Amino acid sequence: MSKAGKGRCDYKVGYGKPPEHTRFRPGQSGNPAGRPRAARNLSTLLESELKKPVTVREGGSVRSVAKREALVASLVNKALQGDTRASSLLIALIQRVEAEHRPADRQEQILEATDKAIIAAFIARTERDDGPDA
């Protein structure tokens, strides 16, 4: 019938069958605070801020661009106006971007040279193994 305790149950209380008086009421959550939002790291914050639009004026027309694009345009314009600090930053940025694209080309060249060496060694070994009988 019912186990000892406060309320009365018409069924056996056990695993997966809590007493009715301890159950969540309809509409009541077992986790009222909910799952906490994930903490955003600096990289995520910076990325989201640089994606936000900003209004810029170019030669009399106004348009909306991402903050990242506006920063690059501003850096290039300052470098063109003779700002040596902006020029050195821009040159360093260009070198970094170009260096990121260059390794793929070098990798292909290295692989080609390595592949050629492997093929030459294989041919030499098979010619040696075949000998004059072939």
For residue 5, pLDDT beyond 60: no
**66/30: higher pLDDT:** 66
In a domain, residue 91? The reply is yes
In a domain, residue 26? The reply is no
Provide the domain limits for residue 73.
63-133
In a domain, residue 106? The reply is yes
In a domain, residue 5? The reply is no
In a domain, residue 111? The reply is yes
For residue 23, pLDDT beyond 70: yes
- CB-based burial, 98-134: b 16+ in 10 Å, e otherwise: eeeeeeeeeeeeeeeeeeeeeeeeeeeeeeeeeeeee
This prediction has a pTM of 0.49
Confidence of residue 2 (pLDDT cuts 50, 70, 90): very low
pLDDT at 118: 86
**52/100: higher pLDDT:** 52
**40/66: higher pLDDT:** 66
Output phi, psi for 55, to 5 deg: -90, 130
In a domain, residue 54? The reply is no
In a domain, residue 44? The reply is no
Cα 116 from Cα 10, distance rounded (Å): 83
* Beta bridge partner(s), residue 58: 61
In a domain, residue 51? The reply is no
Confidence of residue 3 (pLDDT cuts 50, 70, 90): very low
**In this predicted model, what pLDDT tens digit does every residue of 102-123 receive, in sequence order?**
766 566 667 787 888 888 888 8
Element (H, E) at 126: helix 84-130
pLDDT at 74: 93
Q: How many domains does the chain have?
A: 1
Rounded mean pLDDT of the chain?
A: 83
Cα 27 from Cα 12, distance rounded (Å): 25
